[in-house]
Chain A
């Protein structure tokens, strides 16, 4: 399977705990995105990497959130001191296949990590 993978698929945690999610993009892709989706809503952008550089962060990404992509391959999203409002689906997507014009790039999404904060 050469699609985007995310781990874990589900996470239940208690308020105040730290959680970390992992995303493995499609290997040929150099761009990686994190989105958050709450029930009944469309995904909202959190942050974006090109190779290992974090190029953009949303205002949604509070100080408790941090994302890394240390070697330009997989990425991690950490939430510190989780709150009940952090309960959501966290989606990772990748893009950047060589030869495709930038404006036509499609983002390919992983299955997401469902987080429930009790």
Chain B
């Protein structure tokens, strides 16, 4: 069975600072994808960034980067230069080739980020 663990239930970060959100996963799938989503209080899940298990380089997307350490089974999200609009719940998700047939996502419990002025 696959499992996603986000150990930080909540974090405060000052505006313009960087923040790292932890995500560890457990899978026996040889090929899988890792995703991060942002969920503001409005409820909609917003896709941020994707990392494939065979990607040699860490993914980056604007102010978002993914620190992928395959041997440690971690896929931490780094948000640089935090903005007040970054305040939201952040979810790490995984999808495997065999376990999920590249279909459904498995989500972690999420980390609540609050950006302060």
| Chain A residues within 8 Å of B, Cβ to Cβ | 31, 33, 35, 40-45, 48, 55-56, 89, 91, 93, 102-112, 114
Measured between alpha carbons, how far is A56 from B103 in the docked complex, in Å? Answer: 9
Given pairs A43-B45, A103-B97, A108-B47, 15 additional interface contacts (CB within 8 A): A33-B103, A42-B4, A42-B93, A42-B107, A44-B107, A89-B43, A93-B45, A103-B52, A104-B33, A104-B50, A106-B35, A106-B47, A107-B105, A110-B44, A111-B42
The smallest beta-carbon distance between A24 and chain B, in angstroms, is 15
Q: B43 contacts A111, CB within 8 Å? A: yes
Give the size category of B's interface with A.
Answer: 20 to 34
Q: B44 contacts A111, CB within 8 Å? A: yes
Known contacts A106-B47, A108-B47; is A45 also within 8 Å of B42 by CB?
A: no
Measured between alpha carbons, how far is A4 from B59 in the docked complex, in Å? Answer: 26
Select from chain A the residue with minimum beta-carbon distance to B48.
A106
Which residues on the A side are within 8 Å of B45 (C-beta)?
43, 91, 93, 109
Select from chain B the residue with minimum beta-carbon distance to A113.
B43
